[in-house]
Each structure stands twice: as C-alpha cells, then as structure tokens.
C-alpha cells in the first residue's frame, strides 16, 4: 500500500463511531454494513478504521463506493498490541469511572448511616418520654396509697397544661422530622442500589477488557484507499461478517374461547418474535435488522449443489458385527426393561440395549455416513424488522417482533377422564400467512391467561398444524367411581366374567357456545388368547360410517365425540366385560405412553 500520502489525505475512524446501515443476522453469525461519510480532498485518500471486532471474518470484508470514488485498495491488518499507543486508554477510563462511582457509593452509605443514627436518637427520646409521663390521676392514686410520687424530672414529668403544650410541639416536630429522615433514607437507598448496579456493570466490562488484553494481544484495522477526481463529500459502505451473533425464533400464541368475546373466538393470534444475541464487542445502534436462515457466502463464488441421495437405513450389518463378537449370555431381569427397538432380534444375543442404540447411532460415520437422516428442513428465508432497533454487544437477548399473524382455528375439546378430570382445548390451524414458522418455543395464552410453554416444528405456508391450548374450565368433567360385577358362566368349562361399568359426567357451562368433546377411555387389551374383552356400551358397530359414534383406536382406547349444547349436561356410561378361565387371575399393567 502506498505510503506517500499527506496527513491531510489520511483519516482515522473508530468502527463503533460509524453509523450502521443494516445488519443481517444469520443463525451463526451476522453481516454488518456501516457507512463512512466524510469530506475528502482531490486525489488519493486513505481511511483507517480502528477497533475492529476480534471475531471478524477477514475474508468477508467488502467495500462499496460511489461512482466518483474509485476504490483502489482494501487491506486488513492485525497489529501487536504493543504497537498501539492508546491500548490502555479504555481500561484507564473505566477504572477512573469505577473509582468515581465507588466514592459516590461511600458518601451515600455514610449519609444513610448518619440519618439512621439521628432517627434512632429521635426514636429513643420519644420512647423515653412515653414511658415517664404521669397524669394527675396517677399522682392522686399514689397519694391515696401513701406512696410518694417521683420527684426527679429525669424519672417522670407531670402532664400539666405547660407540659401538654411542650409535648404537642415535640410530637409535631418528631412526626415531621422522622418522616423527612425516612424519606431521605429511602431515596438515598434507591440511589445506592443504582450505583451498585452501575459498579457491577463496570466491573464486568473491566474484567472483559482485561481478559481481552491478556489473551488477545493484537488489534485489528482496516485500511481503505480511494481516488476521487475532486474535493467533496463521499460515502462508502463497509460490509463484514462477525461471529458470536445468532438469532432464534419464538412465538406467543393467543386464543380465546370465552363466550363474551365472540369476535375473537374464531381468531388465533400468533406473535412472531426473533431473539437476537451478540457478543461481537460492538453495538448496533439505530440499525435496520434482517433475520435470515440462509447460509452466508464468503468468497463470492456460487456454491455448488450436491446430489442428495435417498436410501433406506439398515441396521442388519451393524447388528451382525456386534453378534459375531458377543458371547451368548442369559437374560437378566434388567434386560426386559431395555427395549432396543430393532425388529424382532433375539434379546439373548446382547444384554445392554442402550449401548447398542448408541453404537448404531455412532456407526453411521462409517459406510452409512452418506445417508441423510430425515429431519425438519429449515427453509432459506429472511425476515425484515420494520422499525430500526439497537442491539447491544453484551450478549443480552434482544426480542424483536417479526410479525403479528391472525389465523382461522378450529377448536377441539378432548378429555381423558381416567387420568385428568378436565377438558383440554386444542386448535387445528392452517398457516395462511406468507411466512414459514421455524422450529422454536411458544408461549400459550388462553383467555388472556398464561397456560404453558411448548415448542412447534417447522411449518410452511399452507401447512396445517395442531396447537394444544390448555384446559377449558367451562367444560366440566366428573369421573364417577366405577362398578365391578363378577359372575360365573359356562357349562362344560367354567369361566369368570367380570363386568366393569364407568360413568362420566359432562357439562357445558357456556351460555352461547356449543362444544364437541372427544372422550378417550382405556379398554384392556388382552395379551392372552384365553382372555376375551367385549365392549357393551357404547356400541362400536358401524362406527366407520359415522364419525360421531365410538371407535377403538390402535392404542385400544375407546374414542367418541359428545356434542354439548350451551348449558347442556350429559352422562356417558362405558361398560365392558372380561371373560377368562375360572382358575386364572387377570393382572393389569400399563403400557408405556407414546406421544400421539
């Protein structure tokens, strides 16, 4: 780079002083565009940009100029910190500020201590006066008892007219003075709390700067040379990428099933947020922020698109490798508790199913490493933030609103009274917006009350998804005590028949809204041919021709829909019989629950 420039042609800027035009925040980094706007002389000019972020990607630096400004050279430099004269200036200024704040804190603590001592003295005087007051009636009583009243003024004083006047003046003085002192103490304690917070922030910044100066022995600069035909105002744009910046989506989902909010009943509001965090050692003030899921490019070359191969994942080779090196071992009691989840292989060939699962997962790095596992694909898109915002470089999460979306839901009520005597409301929603919903956490609000925190998967525009909104207290569910009746049946071979009867009470407490409640009740699933289970009520025949009739799900749960009109209540009866040999006993076990 040429060194024959005059001092008048060289200008130095701190990168933090340059205004931010826009920031594109990716999932693992951010691209910052800053503006250099200054007057230059005719000919060659040099800009030296100092205090560059230590997490900058040096290959990402781009400089854009005006038509009249020809960019001749761009250079990124890393210099030893000993070559920089003002390396400790920031530390010195921070330490001076901390010393000043600590002096203010000490002064406030002394003032608070002095006020409290004065208040204690004043309270002590008032307490002493209250203990030693004697009225005229007290003196007469002492004389009747032949007891001399105290004459020492220090031990008591007579509450006469003059004393009453003095006492009134003292009480007025005490009330005003004590009130002023307590108010001053509260205000000074509030100021003291603010000072302590400022000192704590300064100490964190000092630790960060000391750590940086200890482990990062280099400072970074960007030098830009331009040529202009004449003197005037120029404007160039500097773009660069920095790591330690990311964003993630989150959502607020609000719904209302209140009958007094009929207009809101058919709407489900999704507030789309983006949470931005960055520790790039620089602040982005008054910036136009864009959140993106794309993969940034560094070298300006169009990335090649690889061939995506779809194949079937096979475990047989991996299992055989394990079987060949494993001796046949007897089963232990713990072996039954660990289901390896692979076909129907003999459990005697291996004992530790968890280890096999881990091995099967890690061995994909071998011959099966080219297989792509199915996962929720994140679409490449971007979300511009409407208003200009400020994002500090202290790592604190910054919540930015992307959009407010209103969707048309279909509300469903479901209940499993054997496990929870409550009705839960869900919403079946189609993403009718132009924005894809990315995987993230969601806060659920129902009827203006916080319900729970959940997570949603990737949802593209036009795709349908389901959202559980929590309990609807307007649907009352009561699970009555079940009844059981035993009897013997059969002529040649005696069998035991046990009839179970369960009553479920439902009531719709809403005045203007109907509710379709789906009830799920577990029915025993026989694991032996000698056990026969017959559903007596409700009737599940021809259920596939009528969706409102009861049906038996693949989990062997009885499911049916009950329509409740406003204010209506219904009693539903579930009755089933279990037949088994008289000489046997039936044992009930609960299978592991799986998420539907």
- Reported as a single tens digit per residue, the pLDDT across 548-557 is 578 888 888 8
What is the Cβ-side half-sphere exposure of residue 386, based on CA atoms within 13 angstroms? 6
What is the Cβ-side half-sphere exposure of residue 217, based on CA atoms within 13 angstroms? 2
Q: In a 3-state reduction of DSSP, which class is residue 521?
A: strand
CB–CB of 212/139 below 8 Å? no
What is the Cβ-side half-sphere exposure of residue 453, based on CA atoms within 13 angstroms? 3
| This model's pTM is above 0.75 | no
For residue 206, what are the CA distances in angstroms to 51, 52, 84, 393?
17, 19, 19, 15
Q: Say what the pLDDT of residue 262 is.
A: 47
Q: Say what the pLDDT of residue 252 is.
A: 95
Residue listed under structure tokens 């302590």: 196
Q: Are strands 20-25 and 56-64 parallel, antiparallel or unpaired?
A: unpaired
For residue 216, what are the CA distances in angstroms to 50, 55, 58, 92, 393?
15, 11, 16, 18, 18
Q: In a 3-state reduction of DSSP, which class is residue 386?
A: coil
Residue listed under structure tokens 């990315």: 438
CA nearest to 456, candidates 250, 248, 247, 246: 250
What is the Cβ-side half-sphere exposure of residue 403, based on CA atoms within 13 angstroms? 13
Long-range interactions of 315-320: CB distance < 8 A, separation 24+:
315/342, 315/343, 315/360, 317/367, 318/359, 318/360, 318/363, 319/345, 319/356, 319/360
Q: Say what the pLDDT of residue 245 is.
A: 94
Q: How far apart are CA 180 and CA 182, in angstroms?
A: 6
CB–CB of 579/534 below 8 Å? yes
CB–CB of 66/236 below 8 Å? yes
Q: What is the dihedral of CA 346, 347, 352, 353, to 10 degrees?
A: 70
Helix or strand holding residue 89 (H, E): helix 89-131
CA angle (223, 225, 226) in 5-degree steps: 150
Could you say which residues of the chain have pLDDT below 50?
1-2, 83-84, 151-155, 260-264, 318-320, 322-323, 325-376, 545, 596
Helix or strand holding residue 263 (H, E): helix 262-265
392: left (phi over 0), alpha (psi -120 to 50) or beta: beta
Structure tokens at 169: 């003046």
DSSP string, 268-308: EEEEEEEEEEE-SSS-EEEEEEEEE-SPP-SSSPPPPPPPP
What is the Cβ-side half-sphere exposure of residue 183, based on CA atoms within 13 angstroms? 6
Q: Say what the pLDDT of residue 335 is.
A: 41
Q: How many CB atoms lie within 10 A of CB 432?
A: 11
CB–CB of 156/142 below 8 Å? no
Give every CB contact of residue 119 below 8 A, 6+ residues apart in sequence. Answer: 178, 181, 182, 185
- Distance in angstroms between the alpha carbons of the first and the last residue of the chain: 66
Q: Say what the pLDDT of residue 266 is.
A: 64
Q: Say what the pLDDT of residue 141 is.
A: 56
Burial of 441: CB neighbours in 10 Å, binned 0-12, 13-18, 19+: middle
H helices of 132-243, in order, are 136-144, 161-215
CB–CB of 236/225 below 8 Å? no
Q: How far apart are CA 254 and CA 229, in angstroms?
A: 60
Q: How far apart are CA 338 and CA 165, in angstroms?
A: 89
Q: How many CB atoms lie within 10 A of CB 219?
A: 20
- Give me the residue spans of the domains in the chain: 7-87+216-246, 89-214, 316-365, 475-581
What residues does 271 pair with on adjacent strands? 252, 404
Helix or strand holding residue 46 (H, E): strand 43-50
Q: Are strands 43-50 and 10-14 parallel, antiparallel or unpaired?
A: parallel
CA nearest to 503, candidates 572, 582, 424, 431: 572
CATH of domain 7-87+216-246: 2.60.120
């Amino acid at each position: 780079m040429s060194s024959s420039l005059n001092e008048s042609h060289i200008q130095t800027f701190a990168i933090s002083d340059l205004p931010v035009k826009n920031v594109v925040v990716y999932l693992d980094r951010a691209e910052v565009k800053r503006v250099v706007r200054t007057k230059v002389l005719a000919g060659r000019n040099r800009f030296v940009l100092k205090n560059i972020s230590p997490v900058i990607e040096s290959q990402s630096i781009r400089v854009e100029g005006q038509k009249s400004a020809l960019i001749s050279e761009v250079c990124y430099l890393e210099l030893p910190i000993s070559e920089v004269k003002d390396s400790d200036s920031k530390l010195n200024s921070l330490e001076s500020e901390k010393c000043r704040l600590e002096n203010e804190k000490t002064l406030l603590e002394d003032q608070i201590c002095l006020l409290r001592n004065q208040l204690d003295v004043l309270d002590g005087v008032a307490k002493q006066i209250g203990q030693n007051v004697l009225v005229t009636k007290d003196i007469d009583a002492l004389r009747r008892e032949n007891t001399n009243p105290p004459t020492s003024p220090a031990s008591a004083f007579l509450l006469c007219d003059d004393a009453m006047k003095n006492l009134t003046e003292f009480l007025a003085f005490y009330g005003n003075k004590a009130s002023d002192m307590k108010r001053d103490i509260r205000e000074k304690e509030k100021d003291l709390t603010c000072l302590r917070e400022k000192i704590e922030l300064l100490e964190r910044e000092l630790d960060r700067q000391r750590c940086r100066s200890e482990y990062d022995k280099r400072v970074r600069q960007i030098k830009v040379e331009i040529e202009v035909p004449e003197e005037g105002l120029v404007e160039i744009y500097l773009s660069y990428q920095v790591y330690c910046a990311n964003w993630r989506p989150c959502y607020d989902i609000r719904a209302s099933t209140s009958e007094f909010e009929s207009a809101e009943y058919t709407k489900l509001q999704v507030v789309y947020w983006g949470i931005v965090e960055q520790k790039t050692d620089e602040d982005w003030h008054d910036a136009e922020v864009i959140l993106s899921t794309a993969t940034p490019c560094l070298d300006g070359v169009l990335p090649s698109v690889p061939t995506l191969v779809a194949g079937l994942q096979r475990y047989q080779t991996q299992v055989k490798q394990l079987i060949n090196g494993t001796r046949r071992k007897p089963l232990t009691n713990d072996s039954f508790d660990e289901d390896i989840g692979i076909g129907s292989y003999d459990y005697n060939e291996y004992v530790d199913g968890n280890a096999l699962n881990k091995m099967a997962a890690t061995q994909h790095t071998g011959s099966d490493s080219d297989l792509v596992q199915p996962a929720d694909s994140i679409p490449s898109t971007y979300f511009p933030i409407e208003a200009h915002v400020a994002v500090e470089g202290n790592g604190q999460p910054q919540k930015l609103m992307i959009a407010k979306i209103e969707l048309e839901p279909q509300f469903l009520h479901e209940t499993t009274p054997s496990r929870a005597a409550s009705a839960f409301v869900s919403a079946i929603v189609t993403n009718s917006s132009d924005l894809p919903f990315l995987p993230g956490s969601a806060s659920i609000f129902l009827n203006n009350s916080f319900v729970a925190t959940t997570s949603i998967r990737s949802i593209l525009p036009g795709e349908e998804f389901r959202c559980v909104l929590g309990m609807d207290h307007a649907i009352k569910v009561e699970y009555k005590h079940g009844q059981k009746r035993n009897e013997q049946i059969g002529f040649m071979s005696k069998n035991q028949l046990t009839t179970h009867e369960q009553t479920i009470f439902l009531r719709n407490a809403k005045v203007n809204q109907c509710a379709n409640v789906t009830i799920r009740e577990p029915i025993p699933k026989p694991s032996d041919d000698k056990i026969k289970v017959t559903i007596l009520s409700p009737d599940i025949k021809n259920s596939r021709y009528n969706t409102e009739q009861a049906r038996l799900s693949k989990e062997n749960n009885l499911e049916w829909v009950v329509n409740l009109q406003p204010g209506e209540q219904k009693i539903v009866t579930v009755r089933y019989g279990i037949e088994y040999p008289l000489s046997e006993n039936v044992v009930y076990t609960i299978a592991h629950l799986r998420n539907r």
